[in-house]
Structure 1
Amino acid sequence: MTATQKSSSPRKPAPRQTLLESARGSVDETISLFYLGYRAGVAGPKKVLDKLAFGRPHHRILYVVARRPGIAIANLIDLLEVSRQALHRPMRDLIAQGYLVQKPAPTNRRLTLLSLTPKGAALESRLTDLQYDAFAKAFSVTGPEAEQQWKAVMRALAEQVRPAFTV
Protein backbone atom coordinates (compact mmCIF):
# COMPACT_ATOMS: atom_id res chain seq x y z
CA MET A 1 0.00 0.00 0.00
CA THR A 2 1.37 3.42 -0.89
CA ALA A 3 1.51 6.39 1.41
CA THR A 4 -1.40 8.05 -0.38
CA GLN A 5 -3.67 5.01 -0.14
CA LYS A 6 -5.82 4.50 2.93
CA SER A 7 -6.49 1.17 4.50
CA SER A 8 -10.02 -0.07 4.02
CA SER A 9 -10.08 -1.76 7.41
CA PRO A 10 -10.29 0.52 10.42
CA ARG A 11 -7.52 0.35 12.98
CA LYS A 12 -8.39 -1.25 16.26
CA PRO A 13 -7.88 1.12 19.14
CA ALA A 14 -5.27 0.08 21.65
CA PRO A 15 -6.86 -1.62 24.66
CA ARG A 16 -7.74 1.03 27.17
CA GLN A 17 -6.10 0.53 30.52
CA THR A 18 -8.08 1.17 33.63
CA LEU A 19 -7.04 3.99 35.91
CA LEU A 20 -5.19 1.80 38.38
CA GLU A 21 -3.58 -0.38 35.71
CA SER A 22 -2.06 2.53 33.80
CA ALA A 23 1.51 3.61 34.38
CA ARG A 24 0.22 6.91 35.74
CA GLY A 25 -2.69 5.28 37.54
CA SER A 26 -1.36 5.76 41.04
CA VAL A 27 -0.75 9.46 40.47
CA ASP A 28 -4.07 9.81 38.64
CA GLU A 29 -5.82 8.31 41.63
CA THR A 30 -3.88 10.65 43.94
CA ILE A 31 -4.95 13.69 41.91
CA SER A 32 -8.57 12.53 41.90
CA LEU A 33 -8.46 11.99 45.64
CA PHE A 34 -6.85 15.39 46.11
CA TYR A 35 -9.76 17.08 44.32
CA LEU A 36 -12.36 15.04 46.17
CA GLY A 37 -10.58 15.59 49.49
CA TYR A 38 -10.46 19.33 48.83
CA ARG A 39 -14.19 19.35 48.15
CA ALA A 40 -14.80 17.48 51.41
CA GLY A 41 -12.53 19.88 53.29
CA VAL A 42 -14.43 22.95 52.09
CA ALA A 43 -17.96 21.44 52.06
CA GLY A 44 -18.85 22.56 55.59
CA PRO A 45 -17.60 26.12 55.16
CA LYS A 46 -19.23 26.32 51.72
CA LYS A 47 -22.68 25.77 53.25
CA VAL A 48 -22.12 28.62 55.70
CA LEU A 49 -20.61 30.89 53.04
CA ASP A 50 -23.48 30.20 50.63
CA LYS A 51 -26.01 31.38 53.23
CA LEU A 52 -24.09 34.66 53.48
CA ALA A 53 -23.73 34.97 49.67
CA PHE A 54 -19.96 34.62 50.15
CA GLY A 55 -17.53 32.32 48.38
CA ARG A 56 -14.12 30.73 48.85
CA PRO A 57 -12.26 34.05 48.32
CA HIS A 58 -14.08 35.52 51.32
CA HIS A 59 -12.98 32.57 53.47
CA ARG A 60 -9.39 32.78 52.24
CA ILE A 61 -9.24 36.46 53.18
CA LEU A 62 -10.71 35.82 56.63
CA TYR A 63 -8.33 32.89 57.20
CA VAL A 64 -5.19 34.85 56.34
CA VAL A 65 -6.19 38.03 58.18
CA ALA A 66 -7.03 35.97 61.29
CA ARG A 67 -3.48 34.64 61.30
CA ARG A 68 -1.87 37.93 60.35
CA PRO A 69 -3.86 40.73 61.98
CA GLY A 70 -2.83 44.11 60.62
CA ILE A 71 -1.63 42.65 57.31
CA ALA A 72 -1.17 45.19 54.53
CA ILE A 73 -3.43 44.75 51.51
CA ALA A 74 -0.33 44.43 49.30
CA ASN A 75 0.94 41.54 51.44
CA LEU A 76 -2.47 39.84 51.36
CA ILE A 77 -2.45 40.07 47.56
CA ASP A 78 1.02 38.54 47.52
CA LEU A 79 0.09 35.71 49.89
CA LEU A 80 -3.11 34.81 48.06
CA GLU A 81 -1.49 35.33 44.65
CA VAL A 82 -4.50 37.21 43.31
CA SER A 83 -4.86 40.54 41.55
CA ARG A 84 -6.05 43.65 43.32
CA GLN A 85 -9.19 43.45 41.17
CA ALA A 86 -9.88 39.85 42.24
CA LEU A 87 -9.54 40.84 45.88
CA HIS A 88 -11.67 43.98 45.62
CA ARG A 89 -15.22 42.54 45.62
CA PRO A 90 -14.81 39.99 48.43
CA MET A 91 -12.95 42.54 50.57
CA ARG A 92 -15.63 45.15 49.91
CA ASP A 93 -18.31 42.62 50.94
CA LEU A 94 -16.48 41.72 54.15
CA ILE A 95 -15.95 45.36 55.08
CA ALA A 96 -19.53 46.42 54.22
CA GLN A 97 -21.00 43.60 56.31
CA GLY A 98 -18.79 44.26 59.31
CA TYR A 99 -16.42 41.28 59.16
CA LEU A 100 -13.26 43.17 58.25
CA VAL A 101 -11.86 46.64 58.96
CA GLN A 102 -9.19 48.55 57.13
CA LYS A 103 -7.10 51.28 58.67
CA PRO A 104 -4.10 53.26 57.50
CA ALA A 105 -0.78 52.10 58.95
CA PRO A 106 0.33 54.40 61.78
CA THR A 107 3.85 54.82 60.40
CA ASN A 108 2.99 54.94 56.68
CA ARG A 109 -0.47 56.22 55.89
CA ARG A 110 -0.14 55.02 52.29
CA LEU A 111 -0.42 51.42 53.56
CA THR A 112 -3.82 50.01 54.40
CA LEU A 113 -3.90 47.39 57.13
CA LEU A 114 -6.61 44.77 57.57
CA SER A 115 -8.01 43.24 60.75
CA LEU A 116 -11.02 41.13 61.62
CA THR A 117 -13.84 42.56 63.65
CA PRO A 118 -15.22 40.39 66.46
CA LYS A 119 -17.95 39.35 64.00
CA GLY A 120 -15.29 38.46 61.42
CA ALA A 121 -13.25 36.51 63.98
CA ALA A 122 -16.35 34.53 64.96
CA LEU A 123 -17.14 33.68 61.32
CA GLU A 124 -13.55 32.72 60.55
CA SER A 125 -13.44 30.53 63.64
CA ARG A 126 -16.71 28.84 62.68
CA LEU A 127 -15.49 28.14 59.14
CA THR A 128 -12.10 26.86 60.25
CA ASP A 129 -13.68 24.70 62.96
CA LEU A 130 -15.72 22.96 60.25
CA GLN A 131 -12.51 22.22 58.35
CA TYR A 132 -10.80 21.12 61.56
CA ASP A 133 -13.64 18.66 62.16
CA ALA A 134 -13.35 17.24 58.63
CA PHE A 135 -9.59 16.72 59.02
CA ALA A 136 -9.90 15.34 62.55
CA LYS A 137 -12.46 12.81 61.34
CA ALA A 138 -10.24 11.70 58.45
CA PHE A 139 -7.11 11.48 60.59
CA SER A 140 -8.95 9.54 63.31
CA VAL A 141 -9.62 6.87 60.67
CA THR A 142 -6.12 6.85 59.16
CA GLY A 143 -3.99 7.41 62.26
CA PRO A 144 -1.19 9.77 63.32
CA GLU A 145 1.40 8.29 60.94
CA ALA A 146 -0.88 8.97 57.98
CA GLU A 147 -1.39 12.55 59.18
CA GLN A 148 2.36 13.14 59.34
CA GLN A 149 2.87 11.59 55.91
CA TRP A 150 0.04 13.65 54.45
CA LYS A 151 1.54 16.83 55.88
CA ALA A 152 4.92 15.90 54.40
CA VAL A 153 3.36 15.47 50.95
CA MET A 154 1.43 18.75 51.22
CA ARG A 155 4.58 20.54 52.43
CA ALA A 156 6.54 19.16 49.46
CA LEU A 157 3.82 20.32 47.06
CA ALA A 158 3.66 23.76 48.70
CA GLU A 159 7.44 24.12 48.42
CA GLN A 160 7.11 23.79 44.63
CA VAL A 161 5.14 27.03 44.44
CA ARG A 162 6.16 29.02 47.48
CA PRO A 163 9.17 27.93 49.51
CA ALA A 164 8.79 28.30 53.28
CA PHE A 165 5.24 29.58 52.88
CA THR A 166 3.18 29.65 56.00
CA VAL A 167 0.23 31.80 56.89
Structure 2
Amino acid sequence: MALLERTRLRLFEKFVFAASRRRREAEHLATGRHGELAAYFYLRRQGYVLTARGWRAGLLRGDLDLIGWEGGTLCFIEVKTRTTRDVATAEAAVDEDKRRTLRRLARHYLRQLPQNDVPVRFDLLSVYLERGKTAEIELFRGAFGWH
Protein backbone atom coordinates (compact mmCIF):
# COMPACT_ATOMS: atom_id res chain seq x y z
CA MET A 1 0.00 0.00 0.00
CA ALA A 2 2.77 2.45 0.87
CA LEU A 3 4.55 1.66 -2.40
CA LEU A 4 1.36 2.40 -4.34
CA GLU A 5 0.92 5.74 -2.57
CA ARG A 6 4.56 6.70 -3.17
CA THR A 7 4.16 5.85 -6.84
CA ARG A 8 1.00 7.95 -7.05
CA LEU A 9 2.74 10.81 -5.29
CA ARG A 10 5.71 10.69 -7.68
CA LEU A 11 3.42 10.65 -10.73
CA PHE A 12 1.38 13.53 -9.38
CA GLU A 13 4.56 15.47 -8.53
CA LYS A 14 5.74 15.11 -12.12
CA PHE A 15 2.37 16.34 -13.34
CA VAL A 16 2.32 19.32 -10.94
CA PHE A 17 5.83 20.43 -11.80
CA ALA A 18 5.29 19.96 -15.54
CA ALA A 19 2.05 21.97 -15.35
CA SER A 20 3.72 24.70 -13.28
CA ARG A 21 6.51 25.04 -15.85
CA ARG A 22 3.96 25.36 -18.66
CA ARG A 23 2.07 28.11 -16.82
CA ARG A 24 5.29 29.68 -15.53
CA GLU A 25 4.01 29.32 -11.98
CA ALA A 26 6.24 30.89 -9.36
CA GLU A 27 8.57 28.35 -7.80
CA HIS A 28 7.31 29.02 -4.25
CA LEU A 29 3.73 28.25 -5.37
CA ALA A 30 4.83 24.97 -6.95
CA THR A 31 6.72 24.13 -3.73
CA GLY A 32 3.59 24.83 -1.66
CA ARG A 33 1.44 22.69 -3.93
CA HIS A 34 3.97 19.86 -3.72
CA GLY A 35 4.04 20.15 0.09
CA GLU A 36 0.25 20.03 0.36
CA LEU A 37 0.19 16.91 -1.77
CA ALA A 38 2.83 15.24 0.39
CA ALA A 39 0.83 16.28 3.49
CA TYR A 40 -2.36 14.79 2.02
CA PHE A 41 -0.81 11.36 1.55
CA TYR A 42 0.99 11.53 4.89
CA LEU A 43 -2.25 12.25 6.75
CA ARG A 44 -4.05 9.44 4.95
CA ARG A 45 -1.32 7.05 6.10
CA GLN A 46 -1.84 8.39 9.66
CA GLY A 47 -5.52 7.38 9.47
CA TYR A 48 -7.12 10.74 8.71
CA VAL A 49 -10.17 10.74 6.44
CA LEU A 50 -9.70 13.89 4.36
CA THR A 51 -12.81 15.58 3.04
CA ALA A 52 -11.61 18.87 1.52
CA ARG A 53 -8.50 20.51 0.06
CA GLY A 54 -8.04 24.25 -0.43
CA TRP A 55 -11.52 25.09 0.95
CA ARG A 56 -12.54 28.72 0.44
CA ALA A 57 -15.47 30.67 1.89
CA GLY A 58 -16.62 33.10 -0.75
CA LEU A 59 -15.42 36.59 0.08
CA LEU A 60 -13.46 35.66 3.19
CA ARG A 61 -9.70 35.96 2.85
CA GLY A 62 -7.63 32.76 2.83
CA ASP A 63 -8.33 29.06 2.59
CA LEU A 64 -8.24 25.95 4.72
CA ASP A 65 -5.50 23.75 3.26
CA LEU A 66 -6.97 20.41 4.38
CA ILE A 67 -10.06 19.39 6.31
CA GLY A 68 -10.53 15.91 7.61
CA TRP A 69 -11.50 13.58 10.41
CA GLU A 70 -9.25 11.78 12.83
CA GLY A 71 -11.60 9.47 14.62
CA GLY A 72 -14.55 11.58 15.78
CA THR A 73 -12.63 14.87 15.67
CA LEU A 74 -12.94 17.30 12.78
CA CYS A 75 -9.48 18.69 11.97
CA PHE A 76 -8.63 21.89 10.15
CA ILE A 77 -5.08 21.38 8.92
CA GLU A 78 -2.69 24.14 7.90
CA VAL A 79 0.28 23.02 5.78
CA LYS A 80 3.49 25.03 5.65
CA THR A 81 6.19 23.95 3.22
CA ARG A 82 9.80 25.03 3.08
CA THR A 83 12.83 23.95 1.09
CA THR A 84 15.22 24.64 3.96
CA ARG A 85 15.27 25.08 7.73
CA ASP A 86 18.00 27.73 7.56
CA VAL A 87 15.88 30.83 8.12
CA ALA A 88 13.02 29.69 10.36
CA THR A 89 10.85 26.66 10.94
CA ALA A 90 7.84 26.23 8.69
CA GLU A 91 5.41 26.29 11.62
CA ALA A 92 6.72 29.72 12.66
CA ALA A 93 4.84 31.16 9.66
CA VAL A 94 1.51 30.55 11.41
CA ASP A 95 1.39 33.76 13.41
CA GLU A 96 -1.58 35.21 15.30
CA ASP A 97 -2.97 36.91 12.19
CA LYS A 98 -2.92 33.61 10.29
CA ARG A 99 -4.57 31.84 13.24
CA ARG A 100 -7.37 34.44 13.29
CA THR A 101 -7.94 33.87 9.57
CA LEU A 102 -8.05 30.08 10.04
CA ARG A 103 -10.46 30.37 12.98
CA ARG A 104 -12.77 32.64 10.95
CA LEU A 105 -12.79 30.19 8.04
CA ALA A 106 -13.36 27.22 10.36
CA ARG A 107 -16.37 28.93 11.99
CA HIS A 108 -17.81 29.59 8.54
CA TYR A 109 -17.26 25.94 7.57
CA LEU A 110 -18.89 24.68 10.77
CA ARG A 111 -22.00 26.82 10.20
CA GLN A 112 -22.59 24.88 6.98
CA LEU A 113 -22.59 21.46 8.66
CA PRO A 114 -25.93 19.89 9.63
CA GLN A 115 -24.44 19.01 13.02
CA ASN A 116 -21.89 21.59 14.07
CA ASP A 117 -21.29 20.58 17.68
CA VAL A 118 -18.56 18.06 16.82
CA PRO A 119 -15.13 18.11 18.49
CA VAL A 120 -12.79 20.34 16.47
CA ARG A 121 -9.04 20.70 16.39
CA PHE A 122 -6.49 22.82 14.51
CA ASP A 123 -3.50 20.82 13.30
CA LEU A 124 -0.34 22.10 11.65
CA LEU A 125 1.94 20.22 9.30
CA SER A 126 5.48 21.35 8.54
CA VAL A 127 6.81 19.92 5.30
CA TYR A 128 10.46 20.23 4.29
CA LEU A 129 11.31 19.52 0.67
CA GLU A 130 15.07 19.66 0.42
CA ARG A 131 16.44 18.81 -3.02
CA GLY A 132 17.36 15.17 -3.47
CA LYS A 133 15.78 14.11 -0.17
CA THR A 134 12.50 12.52 0.81
CA ALA A 135 9.99 14.98 2.22
CA GLU A 136 10.29 15.42 5.98
CA ILE A 137 6.94 15.98 7.66
CA GLU A 138 6.16 16.99 11.21
CA LEU A 139 2.58 16.94 12.50
CA PHE A 140 1.45 19.18 15.38
CA ARG A 141 -1.95 17.96 16.57
CA GLY A 142 -3.89 20.67 18.40
CA ALA A 143 -1.31 23.28 17.37
CA PHE A 144 -3.60 26.10 18.56
CA GLY A 145 -7.12 26.58 19.83
CA TRP A 146 -10.09 28.89 19.33
CA HIS A 147 -8.61 31.69 21.45
Q: Give the TM-score of the pair, scaled to structure 1.
A: 0.27
Larger Rg: 1
More helix by share: 1
Please, what TM-score do these two structures have when normalized by structure 2?
A: 0.30
Structure number with the higher strand fraction is: 2
